[in-house]
Structure 1
Amino acid sequence: MIRLIIWEMKALNNMTNQPRSEYPRPDFERAEWLNLNGVWNFEFDDENAGEEQRWYRGKEFSKEIVVPFCYQSELSGIAGREMHEYLWYEREFEIPESFAGKKVLLYFGAVDYAAKVWINGEYAGKHQGGYVPFKFDITGSIRPGKNRLTVKAEDRYECTQPRGKQYWKENPDRCWYTATSGIWQTVWLEAVGGLYVDKLRITPDIDRKTVLTEIFLNREPENAELTVVVDYKGQEKKKITAGIDRRIFKLTIDMAEEDYIDEIHYWKPETPNLYDVRFTVKEDGIRSDEFKSYFGMRKISVKGDFILLNNSPYYQKLILDQGYWPESLLTPPSDRAIIHDIEMTKKMGFNGARKHQKIEDPRYYYWADKLGLLVWGEMPAAYDFSIEETQNITTEMIEFVNRDYNHPCIVAWVPLNESWGVRNIYTDRTQQDFAKSLYYILRSMDKTRLISTNDGWEQVESDICGIHDYEAWSGEFNEKYHDKEQMLTGSVNNWRLLYAEGTEYGGQPILVSEYGGIAFESEDSGNWGYNGTVVDENSFFERFGDITGAIKNTPYIRGYCYTQLTDVMQEINGLLTADRKPKVDIEAIRKVNEVK
């Protein structure tokens, strides 16, 4: 089976139909690029001897792997579940003729957890952070003909690095799963001119009917100009050309209504309207960079204890989504797989997803933008509080926001979950200060979204009161929630208080941001859900309808998040099986979600 996968991938490469061949980040898309996914040479380095022995200068690797799939997954062609902390990758590539005379940038979508990179034996650079992208300018290291790319990945089984649901032991346990090590998102090349855009931020403002664009150039410009063209459904709406006089350049675009009757085209799940935008940078009259992006005219805000979408109250019906696949683990196996998950989420009557403990593949956010799905962007947890943990989480969270700021689907950030990694936050002021620092860093970077700082309980500074409560039946739920003031000062789950010591509820919107977790009866004693199991579809809907109705009938609750979309390994409380087959009638789920 494993050899067959490798053989099939080689055949696909020969036909230029690579695995995950689509452009990896559609909100910042250049035309001149080369996908490097496919079959690479591969080696485990359990003695961590490869660097000392200079494997990057040339070594006969004994294995092959299909990138971008991790070695633990079936689609990698290896499917090894044993623990290896040091991994080496190598492949050859040729620079396309169209890249001639331009800078060549090498991109990695994600390598878990740390990476060092060499081109033709020359050191290109390193990066740390397993869920976020990085790039190197390799122009000076490449040569005509074949070039050799070598990568060393390091993924230690320790808990100061953001792991999320990746377990730090060999076998999955409770609600933690098989780890994803090494390259697990697309690797590619791009060609740019001497002056190019390194980062882009697009900030719509529906109240002022404007869009602020911020471009961050690779260097100070000289005699340069920027042209921005905005289209809606193929029709040009705006075209602006401006001189660029600094490296970080801002341009505000007027997005007033097209006439005096119709409003601008807002983005929301029911009507996910998107504007396409093209950017062209010229220096001395010569085009130096060109790419396309898009944006949605969308606003998420709070008024009193209501959450507003585009200035109207909006009840969030979210699904908890772990983003794991049986054959590929954290890596979506295909673009179609991403689309299917979003379409199934919407068919079941949910209007959003809380991507749990995972910074998702950028194409998930792209399709959520296109198809219309609210998303809570959540940081993967580390689990060993120390100065290393605080640094690792902070750095990776900043890179998360930088990568995904432009997606209209993302309406909330969740830096911490259920006090994971800050187990003493209830009384420990140092851990409280760390949580607050994450809130204020996020707020300084992004004033357009909400923040649930420690979602679940023991909350500190936050825009949302997110409560995790897996109560099974309405009677017990109503008993706890009928008195709002009493509920807010106590513990809804009988072991953790809602607010950390020194913090109290300040009128924020209240959401039950985890509930449900209903599992079907299983013969495997290692499988589990919450509050026992159900035996058939009727008993499932009796419980699902009862507890969901209790939440919706509590007048001060502004939304909920059901656990969860799919089964993942031993956690069998999904509405879909791990291979995405519905366990119950999805139209009946939709009706429960739609009932007022």
Structure 2
Amino acid sequence: MKKVFLSVILISILNSLSSQPWQPAGEKIKTSWAEKIDPANPLPEYPRPQLVREQWQNLNGLWNYAFAKQGSGMPVEFDGSILVPYPIESSLSGVQKRVGENQELWYHRTFSVPSAWKNKNVILHFGAVDWQADVWVNDVKIGRHQGGYSPFSFDITPFLQKGEQTVTVRVWDPTDRGFQPRGKQVNDPNGIWYTPVTGIWQTVWIEPVEKAYINHLKTVPNIDGGNITVLPSLENAMPSDIVEVKVLENGAVVNTGKAAAGQEVLVPVPDAKLWSPESPFLYDMEVVVLREGKTVDKVKSYFGMRKISTARDENGVVRMQLNNKDYFQFGPLDQGWWPDGLYTAPTDEALLYDIKKTKDFGFNMIRKHVKVEPARWYYHCDREGVLVWQDMPNGDQSPQWQRWNYFNGQELKRSTESEQNFRQEWKEIMDLCYSNPSVVVWVPFNEAWGQFKTEEIVEWTKNYDSSRLINPASGGNHYNTGDILDMHNYPGPVMGLYDSKRVNVLGEYGGIGLVLQEHLWEEDRNWGYVQYKNSEEATNAYVELAEELQKLIPFGYSAAVYTQTTDVEVEVNGLMTYDRKIIKLDEARIRKVNREICGSLSK
């Protein structure tokens, strides 16, 4: 009776809180997309473009939240409403409060399962929750997920009841007081380190499935063999189940392949249209699970036929190749932060905007820097045609950093728990992007940030996904392993080391700073690696650095990354302001020199 009484009180409190209006919190700068958010239906787009089912229900919107002392248990009362999926420290959450390592953040909301889903299993999905999340449905704890960047889900069918359902989430995130991957988040933001992000920051949703269903697809193109392999991960499958994969081009079936459950499906794709930034052609795909000839589950997906590899050119320099041709990759360091949503773009249109502007600037690549994006971001990269280098977000501590020679010091020794967590989160991040043609390089470490067991982690990464290149440590510490040697230098390009056996890249350079009033996160702590007074000066400096880079390409550089896409908090070295309202440099001039660099290895 006590539990029932508390539930009645809780529902009363929730109904009261849910009627409270939402508005962005705080006085920080915001993007223009902040005004377009519908608090009744934020981020309404389907969240998983590579595994699509027709029926689903979005659980984004106003939830109730509470802070509680760590370990104190589920709160009886809640503090107010929060707009999910914007992190609680963000303006768009409507809260903009810090949590810290000594508190837990609790979420709660009610929802209803559509009557049309009767006799279906219901899956509860979280796009990402930073960092440790425990989930209850109808007061029954159903599971825990640890990892701030990857999706996770639970089959909640056994825990559903008649009428209204409740979901409760407890989150704990120690930020830089813990060992977990956290990227640029710190408790004391300054310089290149930014505001902490805690809790739900990607879409929450439910979908109906049959008893046996597909929960993941791994698709690998083979342009040399003229085929693709598809490995579906199935739940509750029987050995006699058959998986059928159809490849379609503009609605017409190209070919079909079949295999028993648990086996790879091989599908011929003759005379394939190849995917590239210049021609980002995508094939559609249908995957069906058959049991005794009847369809048990069906999903829609897509893929691109592309190959990333290395080869020596006529001068003996190891080059990156795209679709068996030398191809210079050039793009910005993209941190993926927003002044109003922090980790979460205010809208899907905003998420797409940065990618489209990257292409407008004349780049063909993005280095996603120590952050992971929602699945829709990689979908947009696939559609727009931009290559992606995906970093593993850094965590734990930083050992000694050596930039200009191969490392001869003592690597970081992680605890067993820290190491196991790193491997788990890195695997889940790779699973998220495994089938995206845009993703061509994995970057497990950056500048010795949390770098440990480098050779072992690189080998483990390569064994898990041999279809992509591995950049072991962007900027060092350097080991003779992986496919790439990556140098960092600010502001101008230099070649501090050269490796005759691997691809040589300039993983970071630039950092041209320009302060624009009315578009600043703070007024008095702004900085760039070099500062200029106006757009003309900054553009001239950009072009000069680009021309220096061009001179180094014949001597071995095969890719470069310019810092950076946008200003981020007190960093003012972006091509755009943090609010995305001003393009700071002359777009036509930087596009012209960027296109010359991108085409420098084309024949």
SS at match of 1:203: strand
1:109 alignment partner AA? G
Shift of the alpha carbon at 1:231?
A: 1.2
Partner of 1:539: 537
**Cα deviation per residue 1:264-301 (whole Å; 9 max; x = unaligned)?**
21000010000000111122344321111100000000
The answer to whether 1:166 aligns with 2:179 is no
- Contact between 1:466 and 1:512, CA under 8 Å: does it hold in 2? yes
Match for residue 380 of structure 1 among 393, 407, 423: 393
Partner of 1:277: 285
SS at match of 1:5: coil
**Cα deviation per residue 1:400-437 (whole Å; 9 max; x = unaligned)?**
11121000000000000000123xxxxxxxx3xx1122
Shift of the alpha carbon at 1:220?
A: 4.1
SS at match of 2:263: strand
Determine the C-alpha separation between the residues in 2 that align with 1:528 and 1:81.
Answer: 25
Partner of 2:267: 253
SS at match of 1:407: coil
- Normalising by structure 2, what TM-score? 0.86
The answer to whether 1:437 aligns with 2:437 is no
Shift of the alpha carbon at 1:577?
A: 0.1
Shift of the alpha carbon at 1:542?
A: 2.4
Partner of 2:525: 526
Partner of 2:592: 591
Determine the C-alpha separation between the residues in 2 that align with 1:228 and 1:395.
Answer: 29
Shift of the alpha carbon at 1:525?
A: 4.4
Shift of the alpha carbon at 1:38?
A: 0.5
- Structure-to-structure mapping, 1:317-332, within 5 angstroms: 317-332=330-345
- Contact between 2:488 and 2:509, CA under 8 Å: does it hold in 1? yes
- Cα distance change of structure 1 residues 394 and 252 upon mapping to structure 2, 3 Å threshold: same
SS at match of 2:160: coil
Match for residue 296 of structure 2 among 264, 288, 292: 288
1:232 alignment partner AA? E
Determine the C-alpha separation between the residues in 1 that align with 2:164 and 2:526.
Answer: 50
**Cα deviation per residue 1:150-197 (whole Å; 9 max; x = unaligned)?**
110111132410010111x2x411101001100000111111111111
- Contact between 2:245 and 2:265, CA under 8 Å: does it hold in 1? no
Match for residue 254 of structure 2 among 231, 237, 251: 237
The answer to whether 1:570 aligns with 2:570 is yes
Shift of the alpha carbon at 1:60?
A: 3.4
- Structure-to-structure mapping, 1:300-315, within 5 angstroms: 300-304=308-312, 305-315=318-328
The answer to whether 1:5 aligns with 2:23 is yes
> Runs of 5+ in structure 2 lacking a partner?
1-19, 26-33, 313-317, 398-411, 518-522, 598-603
Determine the C-alpha separation between the residues in 2 that align with 1:222 and 1:208.
Answer: 29
**Cα deviation per residue 1:509-552 (whole Å; 9 max; x = unaligned)?**
1111100000025794421111x311112221222111111111
Shift of the alpha carbon at 1:49?
A: 0.9
Determine the C-alpha separation between the residues in 2 that align with 1:137 and 1:161.
Answer: 26
Determine the C-alpha separation between the residues in 2 that align with 1:354 and 1:298.
Answer: 19
1:589 alignment partner AA? I
Partner of 1:456: 475
The answer to whether 1:347 aligns with 2:376 is no
Partner of 1:507: 501
Aligned-residue identity in percent: 37
> Runs of 5+ in structure 1 lacking a partner?
258-263, 423-430, 482-486, 490-504
Partner of 2:382: 369
Q: Which moved more, 1:88-97 or 1:190-199?
A: 190-199
Aligned length: 537
Q: Which moved more, 1:397-406 or 1:453-462?
A: 453-462
The answer to whether 1:227 aligns with 2:244 is yes
Determine the C-alpha separation between the residues in 1 that align with 2:119 and 2:236.
Answer: 18
Determine the C-alpha separation between the residues in 1 that align with 2:266 and 2:549.
Answer: 42
SS at match of 2:51: coil
- Contact between 1:222 and 1:284, CA under 8 Å: does it hold in 2? no
- Contact between 2:491 and 2:512, CA under 8 Å: does it hold in 1? no
Partner of 1:153: 171
1:517 alignment partner AA? G
- Normalising by structure 1, what TM-score? 0.86
Partner of 1:40: 63
Determine the C-alpha separation between the residues in 2 that align with 1:332 and 1:440.
Answer: 34
Determine the C-alpha separation between the residues in 2 that align with 1:522 and 1:356.
Answer: 24
Determine the C-alpha separation between the residues in 2 that align with 1:324 and 1:471.
Answer: 22
- Over aligned residues, Cα RMSD in angstroms? 2.1
Determine the C-alpha separation between the residues in 2 that align with 1:541 and 1:243.
Answer: 56
Partner of 1:426: none
Determine the C-alpha separation between the residues in 2 that align with 1:109 and 1:337.
Answer: 18
Q: Which moved more, 1:38-47 or 1:444-453?
A: 38-47
Determine the C-alpha separation between the residues in 2 that align with 1:316 and 1:12.
Answer: 38
Determine the C-alpha separation between the residues in 1 that align with 2:515 and 2:243.
Answer: 61
2:207 alignment partner AA? E
SS at match of 1:399: helix
Match for residue 414 of structure 1 among 443, 448, 461: 443
Determine the C-alpha separation between the residues in 1 that align with 2:497 and 2:468.
Answer: 24
